[in-house]
A = this chain, B = another copy of it.
Amino acid sequence: MVIKYPNGKSYSPQKKTLEKVKNKDYTYSNRGKTLEDEINESNEYYLQQGRAVIHKKPVPIQVVKVEYPSRSAAVIKEAYYRTASTTDFNGVWQGVHIDFEAKETQNKTSFPLKNIHAHQIDHMMKVIEQKGVTFLIVRFSSINRYFLYPFQPLKIAWDLMIRNGRKSIPLEEFEKQGFEITPSAFPRIDYLKTVTKMLAQESV
């Protein structure tokens, strides 16, 4: 669903989010669901417009037992979620390899680093080494603000945490070192526009 702004006011998806939360048994694994939908829609838009080919990777699942009922599709009867070893989204945008993770938090003042896994940081570092572009998209759901956060400050915050430092990134850091994404109509989360900004600043 794409939202228009006939009155120029900011759209607040908070109510929908809370409804979803209530109905959907808001467990840890479900966190970030709504942001994921928004990014999937943006990616679909980019694809249709020929701007980029970026997809969410399927959730890794370890299949243990499969049954083959005659004349119908195989049915998985026992399986388990595995931890992703990479980021959730990747693809190509005008010759640039794009690779990112998207997370949302209900926190109003900081982003808890427990939302990120060590092997994801490791993966992102390797992507940088291969001259890919990697970053984090964070949605502060309670205050309805989105940020693209470059890998470099994320890595610094991560390394500090490892050495018993702060376990979260304050909102002010997002305002200072990140790039705010203002939701728009088409696509809702135009993060590639924000990546352009980020790359322009890096090359200064």
Give the interface of A toward B (CB within 8 A).
29, 47, 50, 52-53, 55, 57-61, 63, 73-81, 85-86, 90-97, 99, 123, 126-127, 129-132
Task: Find out whether the CB atom of A127 lies under 8 angstroms from the CB atom of B77.
Answer: no
Closest Cβ of chain B: how far from A188's Cβ, in Å? 21
A60, closest chain B residue (CB): B58
Contacts of A86 in B (CB 8 A): 55
Task: Find out whether the CB atom of A80 lies under 8 angstroms from the CB atom of B90.
Answer: no
Q: Which of B74, B76, B80, B85 contacts A73 (CB 8 A)?
A: B80
Complex Cα distance, B101 from A134, in Å, reads 24
Contacts of A130 in B (CB 8 A): 52-53, 91-95
Copies of this chain held together in the complex: 2
Q: Which of B79, B97, B123 contacts A61 (CB 8 A)?
A: B79
Contacts of A95 in B (CB 8 A): 97, 130-132
Contacts of A80 in B (CB 8 A): 73-76
Sample (7) of A-B pairs whose CB atoms are under 8 Å apart = A29-B74, A53-B123, A53-B129, A61-B63, A75-B79, A91-B130, A92-B131
Most B-side CB within 10 Å, residue of A61, A79, A97:
A97
Given A50-B129, A92-B127, A92-B132, A77 contacting B77 (CB threshold 8 A): yes
Complex Cα distance, B77 from A85, in Å, reads 24
Contacts of A132 in B (CB 8 A): 53, 92, 95, 97
Contacts of A97 in B (CB 8 A): 91-92, 95-97, 132
Complex Cα distance, B55 from A99, in Å, reads 12
Complex Cα distance, B86 from A131, in Å, reads 23
Task: Find out whether the CB atom of B76 lies under 8 angstroms from the CB atom of A81.
Answer: yes
Given A94-B130, A130-B53, A79 contacting B76 (CB threshold 8 A): yes
Given A50-B129, A53-B132, A58-B57, A81 contacting B92 (CB threshold 8 A): no
Task: Find out whether the CB atom of A127 lies under 8 angstroms from the CB atom of B79.
Answer: no
Besides the known contacts A75-B79, A94-B130, 20 further A-B residue pairs in the complex with CB atoms under 8 A apart: A47-B126, A50-B126, A52-B130, A53-B123, A53-B130, A57-B57, A58-B58, A74-B80, A76-B80, A90-B90, A91-B97, A91-B130, A92-B97, A92-B127, A92-B130, A95-B130, A95-B131, A96-B97, A97-B97, A97-B132
